């Protein structure tokens, strides 16, 4: 029974609600960027019904085939829903609508032959963020809850699983062999196919590319460890993985922005609001004005222990 | 601290276990079809050291005799290179599926000579012992645009 309880509290740590309130703002605004920059093709793709191959989720839910009016409606729903949810207004309703609409939108984008894998953490995040419910005082909330802890834990798990599962897939596709992927010519293949990034300068050095394959494969396979890191070790892991994404972007023009943004689920975001207010207050003082009216609230909102 | 009811607690644990189960099942057993629970298979295969690397392109013949590379981006062609590549068998069986690429180009180049013919081509680069070898151009399919 005690083991069950400790497993439960690992999945549902007590965490400041303001962390979720801030993460909501960031992620829902990110969705607006995403539908313009990354999964931006559902509307043009919906002009080609002959190429539509519905995924299992679309067949199970018997979703109608995409048409231009349908994708434009989804787009408008996403824009309005994201703006409301980013302001923590109607978090369950607006968040739930965004989760459903964005999942459908992204599924449409993946239903014309190519399926991307950088949206796992974001889709999970959008599904769990509404479950935290209304957060009174939003960014300034001083409340804590297991509901917030569970949502953040789910996002954290899906971030590290994006790496870990990709390592599993590499083992599987190599005929259940640990060495076949890291010893293959995959990076060279990727660089020849995408000859725009810095990777082309590494074409003459296939041994170096293979060393990079070993490094990234090892990091992916062990990524789950990040779930148990704290403090500086966690920060170091986050910096490593951000570096990894910057590197693949520079080498191959492959970005994993929707995964990278979800790393914020590991960050003590609740410190951001008080920090911002302190900066504003000290600016106000330096400018020779009286401290702003909310100076008192700076004291009250003293950073809560990140805990959890 | 906010309260959490027993039901709330229980469904969250159940959802977590179910989600992790679906993800592991997807990665270990299923295909891309089960997105978002499918295998994370981008760049997950293991090309051999003597593999042939293929870049698929669409070329067009203009009325003035020029042969040009037609862009395969969603913004210009309405469809991306990856989506064309995923459909090579369908396109070779029915080359008129290249219509969207032609329409995309024509609608953006109204003042220019008309497209007469499209080719689905591939640059095939061979690796030799893990190093880049020679490249050759292969034509997969041709489509004459209706006049």
Residues A89 and A160 in one domain: yes
Question: d(Cα A176, Cα A192) in Å, to the nearest integer?
Answer: 26
Residue A2 lies in a domain: no
pLDDT score of A284: 84
CA distance B133 to chain A (A): 11
% of chain A surpassing 70 pLDDT: 93
Are A44 and B74 an interchain contact pair (Cβ–Cβ within 8 Å)? yes
pLDDT tops 90 at residue B110 = no
Residue A301 has pLDDT above 50, yes or no: no
Chain B residues with CB-CB distance to A151 below 8 A = none
Q: What string of H, E and C letters represents the secondary structure of A123-134?
A: HHHHHHHHHHCC
Q: Is B7 on the interface with A (CB under 8 A)?
A: no
Instruction: Say if residues A50 and A67 touch (Cβ distance below 8 Å).
Output: no
Over chain A, what is the mean pLDDT? 90
Above 80 in pLDDT, residue B79? no
pLDDT of residue A243: 96
Section A108-136 average pLDDT: 93
pLDDT at A65: 95
Residues A105 and A246 in one domain: yes
Residue at A1 is within a domain: no
| Interval B11-60: pLDDT, tens | 999 999 999 999 999 999 999 999 999 898 888 999 999 999 999 999 99
Band (A223; pLDDT cuts 50, 70, 90): very high
Query: Would you say residue A6 lies in a domain?
Result: no
Structure-token pair, residue A305: 């222990």
pTM of the model: 0.85
Confidence label for A295 from pLDDT (cuts 50, 70 and 90): very low
What's the confidence (pLDDT) of residue A92?
97
Confidence bin at A289 (pLDDT 50/70/90): low
pLDDT-based confidence at residue A141 (cuts at 50, 70, 90): very high
CB-based contact, B101 to chain A, within 8 Å: no
Chain A nearest CA to B2, separation (Å) = 5
Give A198 or A34, the one with higher predicted confidence: A34
| Whether A248 and A292 share a structural domain | no
Taking residues B111-119, report their average pLDDT.
91
Give the lowest-confidence range in A30-34, A65-69, B23-27, B95-99: B95-99
One domain for residues A100 and A137: yes
Q: Which residue has the higher pLDDT, A86 or B2?
A: A86
- Mean pLDDT throughout A27-44? 95
User: Residue A4: inside a domain, yes or no?
Assistant: no
Confidence check: pLDDT of A290 > 80: no
C-alpha–C-alpha distance, residues A8 and A5, integer Å: 5
**Tens of pLDDT along A71-118?**
999 999 999 999 999 999 999 999 999 999 999 999 999 998 788 889
Q: Which of A59, A145, A165, A227 to mutate to test the interface with B (most CBs of B within 10 A)?
A: A165
A142/A198 same-domain check: yes
- Would residue A141 count as lying in a domain? yes
**Chain B residues touching A107 at Cβ < 8 A:** 35-36
Whether residue A174 lies inside any domain: the answer is yes
Nearest Cβ partner for B36 among A8, A50, A119: A119
pLDDT reported for residue A304: 41
Measured CA to CA, the distance from residue A41 to residue A302 in angstroms comes to 45
pLDDT-derived band at A300, boundaries 50, 70, 90 = very low
Q: What residue segments make up the domains of chain B, in order of their start?
A: 1-45, 52-144
Number of domains chain A contains = 2
- Does residue A232 lie within any of the structural domains? yes
Together in a domain, A273 and A138: no
Angle ∠(A14,A127,A140) on CA atoms, nearest 5:
45
Backbone angles phi, psi at A278, to 5 degrees: -65, -45
Closest chain B residue by Cα to residue A183: B46
Query: Between B67 and A304, whose confidence is greater?
Result: B67
Q: Domain residues for A151? A: 12-267
CB contact residues (below 8 A), chain B span 31-90, against chain A:
32-36, 38-49, 51, 53, 55, 74-75, 78-80, 82-83, 85-87
């Amino acid at each position: 029974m005690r083991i069950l309880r400790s497993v439960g509290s690992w999945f549902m740590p007590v965490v400041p609600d303001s962390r979720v309130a801030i993460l909501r703002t960031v992620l829902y605004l990110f969705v607006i960027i995403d539908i313009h920059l990354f999964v931006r093709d559902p509307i043009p793709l919906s002009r080609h019904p002959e190429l539509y191959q519905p995924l299992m989720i679309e067949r199970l839910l018997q979703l109608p085939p995409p048409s231009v009016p349908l994708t434009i409606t989804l787009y408008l729903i996403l824009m309005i829903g994201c703006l409301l949810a980013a302001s923590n207004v109607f978090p369950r309703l607006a968040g739930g609508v965004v989760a459903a609409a964005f999942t459908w939108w992204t599924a449409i984008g993946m239903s014309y032959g190519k399926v991307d894998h950088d949206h796992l953490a974001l889709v999970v995040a959008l599904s769990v963020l509404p479950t935290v419910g209304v957060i009174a005082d939003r960014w300034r909330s001083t409340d804590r809850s297991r509901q917030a802890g569970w949502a953040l834990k789910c996002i954290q798990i899906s971030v590290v699983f994006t790496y870990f599962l990709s390592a599993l897939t590499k083992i599987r596709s190599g005929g259940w062999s640990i060495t076949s992927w890291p010893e293959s010519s995959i990076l060279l293949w990727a660089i020849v196919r995408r000859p725009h990034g810095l990777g082309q300068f590494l074409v003459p050095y296939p041994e170096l590319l293979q060393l990079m394959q070993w490094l990234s494969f090892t990091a992916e396979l062990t990524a789950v460890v990040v779930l148990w890191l704290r403090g500086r070790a966690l920060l170091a892991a986050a910096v490593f993985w951000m570096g990894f994404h910057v590197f693949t972007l520079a080498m191959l023009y492959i970005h994993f922005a929707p995964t990278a943004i979800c790393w914020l689920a590991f960050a003590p975001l609740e410190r951001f609001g008080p920090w911002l207010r302190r900066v504003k207050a000290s600016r106000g003082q330096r400018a020779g004005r009286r401290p702003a009216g909310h100076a008192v609230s700076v004291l009250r909102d003293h950073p809560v222990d990140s805990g959890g | 601290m906010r309260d959490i009811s027993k039901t709330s607690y229980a469904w969250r644990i159940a959802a977590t276990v179910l989600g992790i189960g679906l993800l592991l099942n997807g990665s270990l057993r299923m295909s891309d079809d089960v997105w978002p629970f499918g295998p994370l298979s981008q760049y997950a295969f293991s090309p051999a050291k003597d593999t042939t690397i293929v870049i698929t392109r669409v070329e067009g013949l203009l009325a003035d005799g020029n042969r040009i590379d037609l862009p395969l981006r969603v913004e210009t062609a309405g469809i991306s290179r990856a989506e064309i590549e995923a459909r090579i068998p369908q396109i070779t069986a029915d080359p008129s599926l290249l219509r969207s690429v032609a329409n995309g180009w024509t609608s953006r180049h109204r003042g220019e000579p008309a497209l007469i013919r499209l080719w689905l081509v591939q640059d095939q680069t061979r690796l030799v012992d893990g190093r880049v070898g020679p490249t050759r151009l292969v034509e997969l399919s041709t489509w004459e645009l209706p006049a």
